[in-house]
Amino acid sequence: MPSPNDAIAGTSRPPLAVGTGTAMAHHGELLQGVFEGADGRLHRGLVTLPLPSLRARATFWPRRLGAIATRPARRSKAARAAALALAHLGFSGHGGELTLESEIPLGHGYGSSTADVIATLRAVAAAAGTSLRRATTARLAAAAEGASDAIAYGTQAVLFAQREGRMLELLGAELPPLVVVSLVSGQERAVDTLALAPARYDSGEIEFFRALRGLLRCAVERQDPWLLGRVATASARIGQRHLPKPRFEHALGLAREHGTCGLQVSHSGSLMGILLDGRGQDVAAQAAALVHEARRAGFGRAASFALGAEGVRLA
Amino acid sequence: MTRPRDDFLSAHETPRILRLGPNLHAACFALMKLLPARFMLDRAEEDGRLAPGGHIVETSSGTFGLALALLAAVRGYGLTLVTASSLVDAAFVRRLEQLGARLLVVEDRAGSGAQAERLARLRALLAEQPEAFWPRQYDNPDNALSYARLAELALGALGRIDCLVGGVGSGGSLCGTARVLRCLFPALRVVAVDTHRSCLFGHRPGPRLLRGLGNSILPANLEHGLVDELHWVGALPAFAATRRLYRSQGLYRGPSSGAAWLVADWWARHNPGASVLVILPDEGHRYRDSLYDDAWLAGLKGWPPAEPPEPVALGRVRPGGEGDWTFLEWGGRSLSAVPGAWRRHRRRPGADQAG
């Protein structure tokens, strides 16, 4: 593939400098299934629920020659991402040192690995004095990892083909304002998400995903967290048929009793999130009450976060 | 899965979502049956039930036959349709034959639709050509499944839907759409529209003037358990409503659309807080010389019907005439649980569905 630098005739390429990049975590999916692409074929796809308050940070110290060493050691996906980004930007064969610092817990479905990879891609681009398009970032991330979440797109609502690293549909706006009460399902051990066999959906589920996609479009267009909550709950129920989470019904009961928008899950992790309307007057108090009750009910790590909910101050 | 290159047909099967009132929207199709027909053929091609250049057989006198004929012509299949003399006119026969379909017309002097004779002819065809594909729109679950696409479009345009109104013939469109919508909106009210002397909801079957909904046999795609409220609309109020729909909304539709709109409009006016969606299956061109001809209408016994039309509430299934419009709180009951319901299989208790 021709590099952008090759395309600019007569310019001398400035040397690489130290570059940094960050990427956010996510809290699983608002929707996951299979969806028809523009080619008329079915693709595995998802809508990620971003978690902007937890971040990974990568710093890249370039070297003219040699391999890519990571700190902590053996972060092979991030090292692969750095090599892919260097090659894409016309620096094939360059190496360097990559330092990864992250607030994101491993496993459970927070997307810690994808955040490392995307922070790395951004750090290498910064080292080359440029930035990558989101589509390029997503594609390289999927190439480095085998699959990627949609966090290259930040809080933009996109239906994303995670195994191909490309967008299936740009929903045209940000996700509606939400406050999420985060619960970790019974199994507290980490999950190797990429080692899981992908769900085999039946034809009824595949057709049902079309309806969920329709309602998702309306939820995003109208910025309606209540419609989004219906989509997420229905998707979580289908996920439950394929990779059941302990205490799912319990979490759903909490979501219902508190009159919330619905429940989302991390389809390949152990996270569940009760979705509240981020525009609500007393949403912070409602979230605090839910966190309190969830902890008493045995969800020891219950906590809340806001997504696009302006002016909401959570306890 | 590779989709055949006939996406140009999808324009006919993709409904427009139209606002017909403050709380009433319509899914307005050019040729609704193309949606299940294309889906059924896609699935049959995928799993090998229909081989390239293969043959399709079906019993149909209506738009499902037309949809199959369009697809067979474009995709290079042979098609034999078994129909009844009482149900097809010369113009429609020409329209099918110009697409390459072969029509076997069963004599039907009684005007009952000759369902049993048509099925016998179809089985004889299958005995001669065992590799032929029979879509079986009444019983093939792919029929109902295909309507998730309708739900996708309606949900995308409307978001919350509180009430779904639609005619029932095979049960595919109403039950397929309702099943999907109810997963998202469990309180969804499903209002089915049938006509007198159709056995779908317990009338003794007989000759019917209203086409496009009703049936003389029970299709497996009809799930009585999904239905909350059932309306029997006679041909006269349906024809009058179809003409009113044309005048008031500019929609030149078939009579099954008129009947469904009559019920949906009434329901929406009585439930102003509810978001109502009505399914309008196809256009009115086939009816140019009947319900769109004043002289033809004037020759009908009982024409014109009483205005304004109002339905009569029933407490049990009761027969009605072509001028009547009745309704019953169905309440998700099976056919055997509803008082007064006629069932063909009385000698086989519990058998609600004729396979």
Question: pLDDT tens, B109-161?
Answer: 877 778 788 989 999 999 999 999 999 999 999 999 999 999 999 999 999 99
Closest CA to B143 of B55, B26, B221: B221
pLDDT at A193: 56
As a whole number of Å, the CA-based R_g of chain B is 19
Give the mean pLDDT of A161-187.
92
Across the interface, do A214 and B183 touch by the CB < 8 Å criterion?
no
**Average pLDDT of the residues in B73-96:** 92
What's the mean pLDDT when you consider all of chain A? 91
A214–B153 C-beta distance less than 8 A: yes
Q: Which residues of A touch B153 (CB under 8 A)?
A: 214
Q: For residues A56 and B60, give the distance between their C-alpha atoms in angstroms, rounded to a whole number.
A: 62
* pLDDT higher at A4 or B307: B307
User: Is the pLDDT higher at B350 or at B172?
Assistant: B172
Residue numbers in A near B142 (CB within 8 A): 203
Q: Is pLDDT of A221 > 60?
A: yes
Packing angle, helices A225-242 and B172-184, rounded to 10: 100
Nearest CA in chain B to A234: B184
Q: Distance between CA atoms of A143 and A59, rounded to whole angstroms?
A: 20
Computed on alpha carbons and rounded to an integer, the radius of gyration of chain A in Å comes to 20
A:B CB pairs within 8 Å:
60
Question: Tokens 């009684």 map to which residue?
Answer: B110
Residue B98 neighbours by CB under 8 Å, 6+ apart: none
How close is the nearest chain B Cα to the Cα of A302, in Å? Answer: 27
The CA-based dihedral angle spanning residues A224, A226, A228, A229, taken in that order and rounded to the nearest 10 degrees:
160
Q: Is some CB atom of chain A closer than 8 A to the CB atom of B148?
A: yes
pLDDT tens track for B317-351: 999 999 999 999 999 999 999 999 998 754 444 33
pLDDT at A3: 52
CA A261 to chain centre: 21
pLDDT of residue B272: 98
A chain contacts of residue B148, beta-carbon cutoff 8 Å: 207-208, 210-211
Q: Taking the alpha carbons of B75, B78, B82, B87 in that order, is the dihedral positive or negative? A: positive
How far is it, in rounded angstroms, from Cα A302 to Cα A296?
10
Chain A nearest-CA residue for B153: A214
Judge whether residue A190 has pLDDT over 60. no
Look at residue B351 and give its three-state secondary structure: coil
- Which residue in B43, B148, B154 is closest to A208 by CB distance? B148
More confident residue, B239 or A13: B239
Q: Which residue of B has its CA nearest to A40?
A: B3
CB contact under 8 A, A230 and B184: yes
Q: Per-residue pLDDT tens for A47-91?
A: 999 999 999 999 999 998 889 999 999 999 999 999 999 999 999
Q: Are B330 and B174 in contact (CB under 8 A)?
A: no
Q: What is the pLDDT of residue A172?
A: 86
* Cβ-contact A117, A141 below 8 angstroms: yes
Biggest CA–CA distance in chain B, Å, is 57
Residue B180: closest C-alpha in chain A = A208
Please tell me the predicted confidence (pLDDT) of residue B6.
76
Nearest C-alpha neighbor of B317 from the set B299, B329, B332:
B329
Choice among A8-12, B167-171, B213-217 with the minimum mean pLDDT: A8-12
Best A31, A39, A159, A208 member to test B by mutation, with max B CBs in 10 Å, is: A208
- Asked if the Cβ–Cβ distance from B156 to A204 is below 8 Å, we say no
Q: Is the pLDDT of residue B264 over 60?
A: yes
Is the CB of B156 less than 8 angstroms away from the CB of A41?
no
Q: Is the pLDDT assigned to residue B1 strictly greater than 50?
A: no
Q: Give the residue carrying structure tokens 């049956």.
A: B33
pLDDT grade for A44, boundaries at 50, 70 and 90: very high
Cβ–Cβ contact B160 with A under 8 A:
yes
Nearest to A203 among B145, B153, B185 (CB): B145
- Give the SS3 label for residue B28: strand
Sign, CA dihedral B237-B242-B247-B249, equals positive
Q: How far apart are CA A30 and CA A49, in angstroms?
A: 6
Tell me which residue of A183, A174, A171, A162 sits closest to A275, measured CA to CA: A183
For residue A1, pLDDT beyond 60 = no
pLDDT in tens, B27-58: 999 999 999 999 999 999 999 999 999 999 99
C-alpha B22: how far from its chain's center? 26
Q: Could you tell me the pTM of the whole model? A: 0.93
Distance between CA atoms of B231 and B271, rounded to whole angstroms? 16
Confidence at residue A230, expressed as pLDDT on a 0 to 100 scale: 98
pLDDT above 80: residue A13: no
> Which token pair is B10?
């999808």
Q: Give the Cα separation of B80 and A20 in Å (integer).
A: 68
Distance of alpha carbon A154 from alpha carbon A143, whole angstroms: 19
Q: Beta strands B102-106 and A271-277: pairing type? A: unpaired
Q: Do A211 and B7 touch (CB under 8 A)?
A: no
Cβ-defined contact of A230 to B154 (cutoff 8 Å) = no
Assign A10 a pLDDT band (cuts: 50, 70, 90): very low
Reported as type and span, the H/E element at residue B37 is: helix B34-46
The pLDDT value given to residue B348 = 40
The tens digit of pLDDT for each residue in B216-263 reads: 889 999 999 999 999 999 999 999 999 999 999 999 999 999 999 999
Are the beta carbons of B155 and A214 separated by less than 8 Å?
yes
